[in-house]
Amino acid sequence: MANGKQENTLVIIKPDSFWRKLNLQVESRIKALGLQMVSERTLTGGENLPETKWREFYFPAIGDRPACIEGTAKYMAYGPVKMIHLRGEDAVQKVRRAVGATQPWQADKGTIRGDFWPGAEEANASYRLKFQQPGNDKFLFNMIHASDAETSFAREILFFNR
pLDDT bucket at 1, cuts 50 / 70 / 90: very low
Decide if 85 is catalytic.
Answer: no
83-141 pLDDT tens trace: 999 999 999 999 999 999 988 888 999 999 999 987 777 777 777 778 877 666 666 78
Q: 31, 139, 55, 144: which is closest to 96 by C-alpha?
A: 144
**Taken in order 111, 88, 11, 23, is the CA torsion positive or negative?**
positive
* Calpha distance 63→59 (Å, rounded): 5
Position with higher pLDDT, 40 vs 67: 40
51-75 pLDDT tens trace: 999 999 988 888 887 778 888 899 9
Q: Work out the end-to-end distance of the chain between its first and last CA atoms, rounded to an integer number of angstroms.
A: 35
The mean pLDDT of 42-47, rounded to a whole number, is: 93
Set 26, 84, 145, 147: catalytic member = 145
Identify whether the C-beta of residue 66 lies closer than 8 Å to the C-beta of residue 136.
no
Q: Give the per-residue pLDDT at 40.
A: 96
Give the β-pairing of 144-146 and 6-13: antiparallel
DSSP 21-67: T-HHHHHHHHHTT--EEEEEEEE-GGGSPPHHHHHHHHHHHH-S-HH
pLDDT bucket at 2, cuts 50 / 70 / 90: low
The mean pLDDT of 21-50, rounded to a whole number, is: 96
Domains and CATH numbers, the chain: 6-159 (3.30.70.141)
DSSP code, position 112: H
